[in-house]
Structure 1
Amino acid sequence: MADIKYFEVIIIGGSYAGLSAAMALGRSLRKVLIIDSGLPCNRQTPYSHNFITHDGEKPSEISEKAKAEVLKYQTVSFLKDIAIGAEKVDEGFKIITQSGIEFYAKKIIFATGIKDTMLDIKGFAECWGISVIHCPYCHGYEFRGKVTGILANGARAFHLASMVNNLTDQVTLLTNGKPDFKDEQILKLKQHGIQIIETAITAIEHQDGIIQQVIFADGTSRRFEALYAALPFTQHSNLPVSLGCELTEHGYIKVGPFQETNIDGIYACGDNTNMMRSVALAVSTGGIAGAVINGKLVEENF
């Protein structure tokens, strides 16, 4: 692969979505390069859930198995590197990696994911993905019936509270500042026995990422066994925007029903395109992107 610089498709990001796209393309004998940093966003999460046939497996085991299956297709290559530059050129795109290699392709898939912005709370990052969690579908069953906090405010907090209330009756909202709820929302929360604590949080005490208690700015503390958190995020790669890809109002890459961006020849799939962060959906959108690109190549060459 070291001497090959031209591909039909370059996939930037080699986790679930990127590998799924690569499989669809590899099975159609397309010459594909996957460029991946080896640092998936869920690398700290101990187990993956809500994906049939893989429920309860370690995320790394799923991706390693997927990678091994995809690389059985001889037209697919994998490079551990980081894509740091991209530009439109005649008949396609040029990608430049951190190691200084230039590659060319007719089509590009961005499966680069998103980067969560950790809150400036001691212990938060160490617990993220373990006991400080983001999704009731991905983690909620394992924390059913547990003493649970929701670190969020406003509409996002209310939505999470309604979802988590179905899993445990021990829910507390931690707004980390002045609450931002409508009167009818506050009434609904009270009806379900959901307390609101607005005192600022200074630290999360934990043992190897397992939350023990939350420490507040007034010196008090509260025991929790799980803490949901709604975090801001950024795109993990700035290359899509540098090439002219539009983002949605929420910061995701804007794609059509077949994972196409507004730039001809560029597709995106996985967590960078939608808020439903799950392995199953990433695999699904990757498969769609791979199949659609193969169809486009067929149209162009037949």
Structure 2
Amino acid sequence: MNDSEKFEVIIIGGSYAGLSAAMALGRSLRNVLIIDGEAPCNRFTPHSHNFITHDGEVPHLIAQKAIDQVLEYDTIKMIKDFAIHAKKTDIGFEISTKSKQSFSAEKLIFATGIKDLMLDIKGFSDCWGVSVIHCPYCHGYEFRNQKTGILSNGDSAFHLAQLVHNLTDDVVILTSEKANFSSEQQAKLRKHNIQIIENKILEIQHDNGYIKNVIFEDGSKTNFDAIYARIPFKQHSEIPESLGCEFTDTGILKADAYQKTNISGIFACGDNSSQMRSVSYAVATGNIAGAMTNMELIDDKF
């Protein structure tokens, strides 16, 4: 591939959403380049769930099968690189990569995902995606009827408690600070025997990512099998912002029902533009983004 090669569509991000978009475009004979930095958000997770036909599969095996299938389409090319800069041109967009390559396209699809920001708790990052988890739908069944913590506070913790209590009666909320619940929320938590621990967490003891105990600042400890955590994140790529794409108050890319951003010719799909962080949803939004990008190309040229 040479630096002057031009494409109809460049997809930045080659995980589930990006590959799904690429397949839709490949089946429409579109000339597509996928640029992938090989850092999917769920790379630490041992098994993927709640995705029909792939329930319990190892995440990277799903992705590899998708790559193999997508690259069967002759008009799709994929490189392992990291897109670092983009600019608007008269014909569309130009993308520069970490390896100093430059590519142009009429349309862009951002399937760049997000980067979770680990909490400053010893052992937390080692357990992330294994037994410190984010989603009851993705992981909850595997920890059903087990002792479960919720590392959050306020409305977020209450919402998780509602979901998790359906999976286990042994739920403890870990605020690691003064609890912040309304009187109505407190009453409901008491009704369902959900304890609140305000002690600050110092460490999560584990065995290869599987929690054994939570150690608190006062020296006490409590055993858990799993802990749900709502942690901050940032966009994995700064390029959408540099091109003028808008974001929600929660930090995700704004995209409409057709996965279009506010910038003409730019689409977004997957975790970067949705609160629903799952493989199945990423695949669905990628499929829509690919189809709508193809439709936009048709409208431009037909």
TM-score bracket, normalised by the shorter chain, equals: over 0.9
Deviation at residue 272 of structure 1 after TM alignment: 0.6
In the superposition, the TM-score normalised over structure 2's length comes to 0.99
Aligned 1:113-262 pairs, distance under 5 A:
113-262=113-262
Shift of 1:3: 5.7
1:37-186 map, 5 Å: 37-186=37-186
Does the 8 Å CA contact 2:107/2:265 hold for their aligned counterparts?
Answer: yes
Instruction: Give the distance between the partners of 1:3 and 1:247, measured in 2 at CA.
Output: 31
Superposed displacement of residue 182, structure 1: 0.5
**C-alpha distance after superposition, 1:1-27 (max 9, x if no partner):** 346621000000000000000000001
In structure 2, C-alpha distance between the alignment counterparts of 1:4 and 1:167, rounded to whole Å: 55
Listed one character per residue, the Cα deviations across residues 51-83 of structure 1 (whole Å, up to 9, x for unaligned) are: 000000000000000000000001000010000
Alignment match, 2:8:
8
Normalising by structure 1, report the TM-score.
0.99
* Residue 299 of structure 1 pairs with residue 292 of structure 2: no
User: Displacement, 1:141?
Assistant: 0.2
Residue 142 of structure 2: SS of its match in structure 1? helix
| Structure 1 residues 27-46: Cα deviation after superposition (integer angstroms, max 9, x where no partner) | 11100000001111111100
Q: Distance in 2 between matches of 1:177 and 1:300?
A: 55
Structure 2: where are the runs of 5+ without partners? none
Residues in 2 aligned to 1:83 and 1:149: alpha-carbon distance in whole angstroms? 38
The reply on whether 1:22 has 2:22 as its aligned counterpart is yes
Structure 1: 5+ residue runs without aligned partners? none
What's the offset of the Cα at 1:217? 0.3
The total of aligned residue pairs comes to 302
- Asked if the contact 2:3/2:103 (under 8 Å) is kept, the reply is no
Partner of 1:263: 263
SS in 1 for 2:272: coil
The residue that corresponds to 1:285 in the other structure is 285
Deviations 1:159-216 (A, max 9, x none): 0000000000000000010111101001100000000000000000001000000000
* C-alpha distance after superposition, 1:88-117 (max 9, x if no partner): 011100100000001000000000001111
> How far apart in 1 are the matches of 2:4 and 2:192?
61
User: What one-letter code is carried by the residue in structure 2 that aligns with 1:25?
Assistant: L
What residue identity is the alignment partner of 1:107?
A: K
For the aligned residue pairs, the C-alpha RMSD in angstroms reads 0.7
**Runs of at least 4 residues of structure 1 off by over 3 A?**
none
**1:299 Cα deviation after fit:** 1.3
**Which secondary structure does the structure 1 equivalent of 2:93 belong to?**
strand
Q: How far apart, CA to CA, are the structure 1 residues paired with 2:56 and 2:298?
A: 39
1:236-295 superposed Cα distances (whole Å, 9 cap, x missing partner): 111101100000111110011100000000000000111110100000000000001111
CA displacement at 1:145 relative to structure 2: 0.3
Matched AA of 1:192 = H
Q: Deviations over 1:119-141 (max 9, x none)?
A: 00000000000000000000000
